[in-house]
Amino acid sequence: MTRSPPRVVLAAAAFAAGAAALAGVAMARLGPAPLPSEREVSATVVDRNGRLLRPYAMADGRWRLPVTAATDVDPRYVELLLAYEDRRFHAHPGVDMLALARAAAQFAGHGRIVSGGSTLTMQAARLIEPRGERSVVAKLRQIARAFQIEHALSKPAILDLYLTRAPFGGNLEGVRAASLAYFGKEPKRLSLGESALLVALPQSPETRRPDRFPDAARRARDRVLDRMVLAGGVSAGDAERARAEPIPLLRRPMPMLAPHAADQAIAQGLPGAGTPRVRLGIDAALQKALEKLARDRADALGPDISLAILAIDHDSGEVLGRVGSPDYFDNRRAGQVDMTRAVRSPGSTLKPFIYGLAFEDGFVHPESLIDDRPQRFGAYAPENFDLSYQGTVTVRRALQLSLNVPAVALLDRVGAHRLSARLAQAGVRLALPKNEVPGLAMGLGGVGITLTDLVRLYGALARLGDAAALRDRLGEGDREPDTRRLIDRVAAWQVGNVLIGTPPPDNAMPNRIAFKTGTSYGYRDAWAIGFDGRMTVGVWVGRPDGAPVPGLIGRSAAAPVLFDAFARSGKLPAPLAKPPRGTLIAATARLPLPLQRFRPAGELMRATAPAPHILFPLSGARIEALHDAAGVALKVAGGVAPMTVLVNGVPAGSLDERRQRLVMPPGPGFMRLTVMDANGDADTVVVRIQ
C-alpha cells in the first residue's frame, strides 16, 4: 500500500503551481521588462587585439564591465556557476518549478525562507529591477519578469546579463570587474579556487568581501567546493588543492595601460551605438614594455625628469604605443600631462628635412663636400654644439655629426619659408612666437613642435617621402592612411641612408636604425627619433615645466631609450626600403662637377657669364608625349659650362656646345627640369607630360 505524500510537499506543489498562475496575471499588469541597454556598462578602451587597456567607472562610481560568457569567461567557471546556482538553466523557461517547489517546502517546514529557488534568469530580473524586500510578492514579481526575459532574450544573452550585473562587493558588478579587482586578471583563465570564490560572492557580496571578510569568503568558497564534490562535478583531490589557494586580501587597481591615449579617446567621444568601447591601434604588450622602460629610465634620470615615447607603424600610420609620462599619478612630474602632444623646441631634429629639400633640389648629394667653418648669415652666426669645427666634410658626415653651420648654409639656400611650407603641406604646422616668421634659427630648434608631429615627419622618410596621418583609433573601417607628399622618393631614401650610418649609443649595434638626436637651447629638451623598415619611434626627455637640466643631451639621455624601445618591441629591426629607380649612388670624385662641392650662395666663384636660364620648355607648359618623339628639347641661355641637366633631381647628362639637349620624360605627369652650371647657379622649370 502506497503512502500519501506529506502535507508539506502537497502544500509546496500547490504553492509552486499557484505562484506560476499568479505570475502569469502579474505579467499582464507589470508591463514589459525593463531590459537594460548594452550601453549601461563602464566605458572601456581596448588595444588593437581587444585586450583591455583602461576601463572607466560609471557615473555613479560602479565598475560594470561588459561580459560575453562565450569569449570572456573561463568555461569551468560557467560550469561551476550553473551546477551550483541553476542546474536546469538550459531547460527551464525562466522558472525552475522543481526548485521553486523545494523552496516552498522549506518555507512551509521552517516557517521562513531557507532558499529562494531562484534561477539565474530570476536573479537577473532582480538585478535589473532591484527591490529591497524578500517576500512572496517580490518573488512573484521576479517570476513574472523571468518569463518576460526568457521570451525577449536567448539563453546566452541571459547568462551574459547575469555575469555583467551580478554584485561582488562594494562598487564591483560583474565577473570581469571582480576578477580584475580581486585577482588582477581577466576571467578567461581562472583556477578552481578562484572560480569557486566568484560563484560564492554574489549570494552575499558585502558580508563575503575577501578584502574585508577573508574568513567568510573562504568558508563560502569551500562550501561551493564541498557541494561540487558531493555532486560529482569536482574530484576530492582538485577540491583539496583549491581550498589551499589563498584568499585575496586586497583589491587591485583596475588596468591602467596607455592612460593618456585612453583619456584622449574618451574625450573625443564614444561610438554612437552599441557597447561604449573604443578600440585603439596600440599594442598592449608593446605599450606595457614601453611604460616600464619609461619608468626605469626616468627614475635613473631624477625625480623631476619626465619622458615620453611614441611608436607608430609605417604602413598604416597607426599608433602602436604612446607613453605620455613615466607615471600618470606623479604630480611632481606633471604625470597627467601628455608630453607626446606638448609643444617643445626640437633642437636639431629638423635638420634631416633641410638636407632632404637640398637633395630634392639637386644642388647637393650625400657625398658632396661642404665646409664646416665659422660663417655669418647676416646678423646670425651659428656655432656647433661643442664650439669646434670640422673643416671640409661630406654632406653625409655633416648630417651624421649634426654640424650646425652646414645645416644653416643649406637652409639659407633652400629657404626657411619653403621648409616651413613643405612641413605644413605634410600636415605639420610649426609653432612660432607671435608676429614671427620662419628664419634660419628654425634649423637649430628655433620653433615649436610636438613629439607626435616629429614622429609623423620621420615616418615620412621611412615611407620614401609620404607623410601618413597618424591614427590612434581603429574600428573606422579598413582604409589606406591619408598621405601627403613631404619630399620626393629619392631625397627621402638618401636621408634615411645617411641617418642609418649615424654612430649609435653604447647600448646598440650600428647600421640597424636610422635615427637623429636633438638638444634644445639651454638643455631643456633631449630628443631621439628613429625608424627601421617597419616602425618609427620618438623619444623626448626633459622637465614638463620647461626648466633647464644642465647636461641633458639627446645622444646620452634620449638615444639609449630609443634603441631600447626598438629592442623591447620583440621584433628584429626590419631593413629600410631599397633605393628608388634613378637614385645616383657615387663617390665624391665621380659626381657631376657642380655636385662635388657645395658653396654658399654668397661665395660662388662667378664667371662673367650670366646664370643659366631655360628658354624652352617654359615652366607650366603641357607637352604631348608622342611615341615616335626622341624626347623633349631643352634649350638654355647663359651659364658656365659644363652644365648638368637633372630630371626630377636625378642627373640626366650635360648640355652640348649649343646649350641644348633632348631629354626623355620618365612618363606621364609632372617633370621637373633643372640645369646647373659650373658655378652652382641653376634654373628650374616644371612641365606636364600628357
Q: Which residues are catalytic?
A: 85, 348
Kindly write down the DSSP assignment for every residue of 440-475, as one continuous string. GGGGGT-SBB-HHHHHHHHHHHHTTTEEEPPB-B--
Give the residues across from 689 on adjacent strands: 623, 669
Looking at residue 201, the DSSP 8-state letter turns out to be G
Between helices 559-567 and 284-301, what is the axis angle to 10°? Answer: 150
Using an 8 Å Cβ cutoff, are 455 and 537 in contact? yes
Find where cell 624626347 sits: 631
Using an 8 Å Cβ cutoff, are 476 and 279 in contact? no
Q: 269-277 long-range CB contacts below 8 Å, 24 or more apart?
A: 270/43, 271/475, 274/38, 274/39, 275/38, 275/39, 275/41, 275/44, 275/66, 276/39, 276/41, 276/42, 276/43, 276/44, 277/43, 277/44, 277/45, 277/46, 277/66
Rg of the chain over CA atoms, in angstroms?
36
Joined grid coordinates for residue 409:
648654409
Omega prior to 642 cis, within 30 of 0: yes
| CA 351, chain centre distance (Å) | 26
Looking at residue 426, the DSSP 8-state letter turns out to be T
Kindly write down the DSSP assignment for every residue of 288-330, as one continuous string. HHHHHHHHHHHHHH-TT-EEEEEEEETTT-BEEEEE--S-TT-
**Bridging pattern class, strands 63-64 and 172-173:** parallel
Contacts of residue 44, Cβ cutoff 8 Å, sequence gap at least 6:
52, 54, 55, 56, 65, 66, 275, 276, 277, 278
Contacts of residue 94, Cβ cutoff 8 Å, sequence gap at least 6:
119, 121, 122, 143, 146, 147, 149, 150
Kindly write down the DSSP assignment for every residue of 362-379, as one continuous string. TS--TT-EEEES---BTT
Return d(Cα 372, Cα 295) in angstroms, integer: 39
Torsion, CA 426, CA 428, CA 432, CA 434, rounded to 10 = 90
Give the residues across from 542 on adjacent strands: 306, 525
Joined grid coordinates for residue 370:
661642404
Using an 8 Å Cβ cutoff, are 293 and 309 in contact? yes
User: Of 178, 159, 158, 156, whose CA–CA distance to 167 is shortest?
Assistant: 178
Q: 167-171 long-range CB contacts below 8 Å, 24 or more apart?
A: 167/127, 167/201, 167/202, 167/205, 168/198, 168/201, 168/202, 168/205, 169/201, 169/205, 169/206, 169/208, 169/209, 169/210, 169/211, 169/212, 170/206, 170/209, 170/251, 171/57, 171/61, 171/62, 171/63
